Structure 1
Amino acid sequence: MKKVFLIALLFVATISSYAQDWQTDFATAKQLATKENKPIILVFQGSDWCAPCIKLDREVWSTESFKKYAKDHYVMLQADFPRKKKNALSEEQTAANAKLAETYNKNGIFPFVVVLDANGKVLGETSYKKTTPEAYIKELNAFAK
C-alpha cells in the first residue's frame, strides 16, 4: 500500500511540476517578470468559443515541451473572454481583461499573443499558427531579444 501511495504522489508531483502557471493579474505578472527577469506572454483568448484559441491551447500552450520551457523562460498572462454563462469570470476579472484589451488588443483579435517586457512595453505580437511548440517558442523568443 505504501508503494502505491508513493507512486501516486510522485506522479502528481511530476505532473504539477509541468503545470502551466497562468497569471490573470497584470500587476502580479509585471512583478514576477521584473523579479525573474522574464518577458510576459499575454494571451487574449475566447476559451469556450474561439476555435483557433482552442487549437493554440491544445497544440502549443498545453504541450509538455512548451510548459516545461515556459516555466523557466516566461511569465504567462491570460486574458480570457468566455461567452458561456457557466464559464463567466468575476466582474473584477472581466473588467481587468477589458482594460488589458483596450491597451494591447484594440482590434479585438482572438487569439492574440503579445510579448511584453516587465514594464508592459510591447516587444512583439503574433496569433495562432499551425506549427510546433518548438517553432512557436522560437518566434516568441525572437520578440524578446
Structure 2
Amino acid sequence: MVALLALSPALSAPAREGWHPSFADAQAASARSGKGIFLCFTGKEWSAVCRQFEQHFLADPGFTEMLKKDFEPVQLDVSAFRDMTGKEEDPMPEEARLKLEFEVTTFPVVFLIGRDGRPYAVTGFRPGGIDSYAKHLEKLRESHAQQEALLARARQSSGPRRAELIAQALPDIGAFRMAQFYGDLMREVVKLDPENTTGFARDFEIKLGDHEYVKAMREMDRDLRWSDMLALTDAYIEKYKLTGSELQAALMNRFDILRRQQNFPEMVLTLDEVYRINPYNPHGRQAQQFLAKMAQQIEEQSLLESLQNQE
C-alpha cells in the first residue's frame, strides 16, 4: 500500500452528508469497509465546470447514494491553492499537499483509489446524468479488476514474461502519478528485464528518473538553489542519455533556471540547442518564440543606448 503522509484536514469545508471531511478520514473508512475511495478535487471559486459538477452531481443525494455502494467519497476544494507549486511553507493543509501528491493540474478531477491505496483511474465531470456516470464508474472498476487479474498472473510468472504482465497491468494515470504510486512495480519491471526485451523497462526507467528529478527540483526550488538545479538537470540529461523531445523538455527546464539567474548568454545557447533538435514540435516553436523575443529586446536596448550616446 502506498503510504500517504499523515495530513491535517485544516481549512476543509464541512463535508456534506455521506461524504468524508478529509482524505485521511476516507482512508480509515476504506480500511474498515473494504470499499475504494472516490477522491474529487474541485476549484469552485474560479472553475465554472467545477460548479456544474457540484450542482448536477456532487450535491445531489442520489449521486452520493450511488457512490456509497462502492466508494468512500471525499471532495477537496483547492480554490485557495490554485497556484500551489510546493514552494510554500510547511505545514501545508491537506488539500494543498494532496494537490501536489496527485499532480492535480486540471479541475475538476476525480481519482478512483483501490483497496491497496493506489489510484487506478482518473476521470471528472461528465454530462449525462447519474445513471450514465454510474455506468462509467462501473467500466473503470471492471478495467481495474482486469488489471488486478494481470498482476495475479504476473505473480505466477518470472523473468521478462512477469515484467510484461506487470507493465500491462499498470493503469494509465499519467507518467508522474504512475511513478508516484506504482514505482515499486515499475522498478521490478526494470530489474526483471535488463535487456528491455519487452519494450517497457527502458520507458519505465526514464519515467522513474523523471519522477525523482521533478521531486528533487521542487525541493531545490523552494530554497532557490538554482546552481544545484542546473547541475541536477545536466546530470539527469547525461544519466539517461536523453534525446529528441525528452531532451528538449529537460533543456527548457534548464532555460527556465538560467532565466531566473539572468544568465543571458547561456539562455541563448540552450534555446538554440532546443530549436536545432526539432524546430517544428511544441518545444522547438517555444524556443523560437523566446529567441525572437530576446533578439527584439537586444535590438531595443541597442537602440536606446545609441540614442543616449547621441545625447
Q: TM-score, normalised by structure 2?
A: 0.35
Distance 1:29 1:44, change over 3 A: same
Residue in 2 that maps onto 1:127: 124
Aligned: 1:100 with 2:98: yes
CA-based RMSD of the aligned residues comes to: 2.2
In structure 1, what is the Cα distance between the partners aligned to 2:104 and 2:111? 13
Aligned: 1:78 with 2:75: yes
What is the one-letter code of the residue matched to 1:97?
A: E
Residue in 2 that maps onto 1:63: 60
In structure 2, what is the Cα distance between the partners aligned to 1:101 and 1:33? 20
Higher Rg of the two aligned structures = 2
Residue in 1 that maps onto 2:30: 33
Q: Which has the higher helix share?
A: 2
Q: 1:72 Cα shift? A: 3.1
Q: 1:37 Cα shift? A: 1.4
- Higher RCO structure, 1 or 2 (CA under 8 Å, sep 6+): 1
In structure 1, what is the Cα distance between the partners aligned to 2:48 and 2:37? 24
Q: 1:30 Cα shift? A: 1.1
SS in 1 for 2:73: strand
Question: How many equivalent pairs are there?
Answer: 118
Q: Which has the higher strand share?
A: 1
In structure 2, what is the Cα distance between the partners aligned to 1:34 and 1:118? 7
Distance 1:107 1:33, change over 3 A: closer
Residues 79, 100 of structure 1: 8 Å contact kept: no
Gapped regions of structure 2 (runs ≥ 5): 1-15, 81-89, 143-311
- Provide Cα deviations, 1:58-117, integer angstroms capped at 9, x if missing partner: 11222232122223332111111134xxxxxxxx9962111111121x251100011001
Q: 1:23 Cα shift? A: 1.9
Residue in 2 that maps onto 1:48: 45
In structure 2, what is the Cα distance between the partners aligned to 1:123 and 1:62? 24
Distance 1:75 1:57, change over 3 A: same
- Provide Cα deviations, 1:10-52, integer angstroms capped at 9, x if missing partner: xxxxxxxxx6422232222111112111110110101222111
Query: Which of 107, 113, 118 matches 2:115?
Result: 118
Q: 1:119 Cα shift? A: 3.5
Distance 1:119 1:60, change over 3 A: same
In structure 1, what is the Cα distance between the partners aligned to 2:21 and 2:136? 23
What is the one-letter code of the residue matched to 1:34?
A: A
In structure 2, what is the Cα distance between the partners aligned to 1:112 and 1:94? 20
Residues 20, 62 of structure 1: 8 Å contact kept: no
